[in-house]
Amino acid sequence: MTEQLRMMAVHAHPDDESSKGAASMAMYVDRGVDVLVATCTGGERGSVLNPKLQGDPWIEEHIHEVRAKEMDAAREILGVRQAWLGYVDSGLPEGDPLPPLPEGCFALQPVEEAAGTLVRLIREFRPHVITTYDENGGYPHPDHIMTHKITMVAFEAAGDPDAYPEAGEPWQPLKLYYNHGFSLERIKALHEAMEQRGLESPYKEWIARWEESDRKPREITTKVPCGDWFEVRDRALIAHATQIDPDGPWFRVPLEIQRDAWPTEDYELVRSLVDTTLPEADLFAGIADAVGAAKISERA
């Protein structure tokens, strides 16, 4: 018997799993990997971003329930499992000065305490690979930054028998990655591909803002070829109907152009307890041999 490979993607809100690494997850599911999305909050304070649904009082009153149902639909499309950590959305503070975060929200929880919740889930699911956000949260939403913090603590603590002894038998994940779906290199490649075909790019202002900022590019260590699963990713995104307008900028670049210009989803390897060689094309590089697991099969 060989061990099944397992992957956990830790995200802040429902819909984050579909906009960051979704095609990779769908590909790995199709190739026999057991994938679990850990969602830290219910997304209760997220605005209704789809203009077609804005102003509906029922949706606004029942946003927690609506977003949970959207998550169920996206989970089924991607073929993954999903678990809620049970924390309350912090919202995105706006204004100058910024208002305080709401009492009891996720971003105000003690990091060590919230990490314990994730440790318990890691020990139950026993992932070999974990993905999450970098220290800036991918973008500076307090829930994304908190997600990064607790994942870093939990990755190290899950295998330590002296840490969180009440959270189950220790389990040490072998690799930790940051997902980087919005690198400047990728955005420029898609922008240029659109313009070369005489099409209007949705990224011109985005690139200008990035280049005017002091934002530094991240190191991409791992490019997972998953272009054949971009359509699955988009269907999962659209399932989050309150967050995603199917006629909006997410879908302005045709899939065939995306597959030609940038057919990968990109990651930064942060921790590895197995031997691997960079750059990689597989999040599980080095793991199957190390644990005696079945290698990832090619899609038929």
Instruction: Could you list the residues known to form a binding site, using ranges.
Output: 13, 16, 144
Do 23 and 230 contact (CB within 8 A), yes or no?
yes
Residue numbers belonging to the annotated binding site for Zn(2+): 13, 16, 144
Do 143 and 109 contact (CB within 8 A), yes or no?
no
* Cβ burial 177-190 (10 Å sphere, 16+ → b, else e): bbbbbebbebbbbb
Q: How far apart are CA 47 and CA 63, in angstroms?
A: 9
Do 63 and 47 contact (CB within 8 A), yes or no?
no
Query: DSSP labels for 168-191?
Result: -S----SEEEEE-TT-HHHHHHHH
Do 29 and 152 contact (CB within 8 A), yes or no?
no
- Long-range CB contacts for residues 109-115, cutoff 8 Å, separation at least 24: 109/146, 111/146, 111/149, 111/150, 111/153, 112/153, 114/40, 114/85, 114/87, 114/146, 114/150, 115/149, 115/150, 115/151, 115/153, 115/154, 115/157
Q: How far apart are CA 107 and CA 118, in angstroms?
A: 15
108: which DSSP letter?
A: G
Quickly count helices (H) and strands (E) in the chain. 11, 7
Q: How far apart are CA 180 and CA 223, in angstroms?
A: 10
Question: Terminus-to-terminus CA distance in the chain, angstroms?
Answer: 22
